Amino acid sequence: MNLIKWSEVDPAVTNFVFYQAERYLDAQFQSGVAADSRAITASSISVILATGALSAAAGLWIAKQPPATYIATAVLGGLFLIATYLCFLAAKPVNFYPSGNHPRQWVPALDMPINDAKGAEIENYQEMIDDNATALDASASWLNRGVMAPIASPFVAIIVFALVTSFS
């Protein structure tokens, strides 16, 4: 799939581009690890809030409090559970390409001039960078949704409380 005639490119330029591609893949990998860490942290916080809200809802129900209180509190806990799941989706394992490769992947290139071999690897790295960007974007999207659910949950719980109270 050689897009460029790497044999015609100055080897110093090829080396520089190769180095930059490796640096970019390394940076993407670090960003991915940081994103997973954020998602796991958000998921942990959401599951703690869900546990508290659902325990409170159970306590309100057992104490025979008005239905609006325990239903709204249960809805609050449910939204926190949804947030937990969405944050988990943000951190789920995905195919992700770090820089470098297995030495056996170079076997087909052993008889090529080094500049051509590095050029082909640069093109492989570009595909990896593109795939990583797609994975990072998907993870960010799930995390954004996972953070929006707890932000919206108090408002939804208030609306549920008002609706249940008005129909009781």
Residue-wise pLDDT tens digits, 25-51: 999 999 999 999 999 999 999 999 999
pLDDT in the model for residue 74: 97
pLDDT in the model for residue 30: 96
In Å, how far from its chain's centre is CA 83? 13
- For residue 2, name the pLDDT band (cuts at 50, 70, 90): low
Q: Taking a C-beta distance cutoff of 8 angstroms, is the pair 156, 79 a contact? A: yes
H or E, element range at 121: helix 114-167
Model-level pTM? 0.83
- The string of DSSP letters for 29-85 reads HHHHHHHHHHHHHHHHHHHHHHHHHHHHHHHHHHTT--HHHHHHHHHHHHHHHHHHH
Average pLDDT value for residue range 12-33: 96
pLDDT in the model for residue 16: 97
- For residue 117, the one-letter residue type is A
Tokens describing residue 38: 């954020």
pLDDT in the model for residue 119: 93
Tell me which DSSP letter residue 111 carries: T
Domain map (residue ranges) of the chain: 8-167
pLDDT (tens digit, 9 = 90+) per residue, 47-87?
Answer: 999 999 999 999 999 999 999 999 999 999 999 999 999 99
Residues 6+ apart with CB under 8 A from 79: 149, 150, 152, 153, 156, 157
Tokens describing residue 84: 């937990």
- For residue 9, the one-letter residue type is V
User: What is the end-to-end Cα distance of the chain in Å, rounded?
Assistant: 69
pLDDT (tens digit, 9 = 90+) per residue, 99-132?
Answer: 888 888 888 888 899 999 999 999 999 999 999 9
pLDDT for 139 beyond 70: yes
